[in-house]
């Protein structure tokens, strides 16, 4: 070798450090998921006639329907309002997750990470 060729094994010296970082990141991900399970978002449609509560990992926890909708037999309206409220709650939960991931990865220099997180959130749009 002339010393000018790139050494394939050059990066192996950093392997223990990379392994520690990966283990720390795994622990942080577990903590993040536990935190997101405790966080709540609420979506309300039609002036509160249908309300949905979800946690930060996108699990629907509660659905509330105004009894007047049931009394009036507004089945068609309910069929429209429930998915709208659920989708809004899930979008808010996804945004919580993205914000938490951005916070956790702050300071980590990975090309394209911010763009990937924004794309995951739907282009960074918020409801």
Topology of the domain covering 10-120: Ybab; Chain: A; (3.30.1310)
H/E stretch holding 40:
strand 40-45
Structure tokens at 50: 């249908």
CA 61: distance to chain centroid? 16
Q: What is the pLDDT of residue 88?
A: 98
**CB distance 85 to 48 below 8 Å:** no
Q: What is the pLDDT of residue 105?
A: 74
> What's the rounded Cα separation, in Å, for the pair 103 and 19?
21
Bridge partners, 63 (sequence order) = 52
From first to last of its 127 residues, the chain has per-residue pLDDT tens of 555 555 555 556 666 766 666 666 677 788 899 999 999 999 999 999 999 999 999 999 999 999 999 899 999 999 999 999 999 999 999 999 888 888 877 766 556 656 666 666 665 444 4
């Amino acid at each position: 070798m002339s010393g000018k060729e790139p050494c394939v094994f050059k990066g192996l010296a950093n392997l223990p450090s990379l392994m520690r970082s990966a283990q720390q990141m795994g622990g942080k991900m577990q903590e993040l998921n536990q935190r997101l399970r405790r966080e709540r978002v609420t979506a309300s449609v039609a002036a509160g006639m249908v309300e949905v509560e979800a946690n930060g990992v996108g699990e629907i926890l509660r659905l509330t329907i105004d009894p007047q909708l049931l009394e009036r037999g507004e089945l068609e309206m309910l069929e429209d309002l429930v998915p709208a409220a659920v989708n809004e709650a899930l979008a808010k939960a996804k945004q919580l997750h993205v914000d938490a991931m951005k916070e956790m990865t702050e300071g980590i220099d990975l090309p394209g990470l911010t763009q990937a997180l924004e794309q995951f959130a739907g282009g960074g749009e918020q409801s």
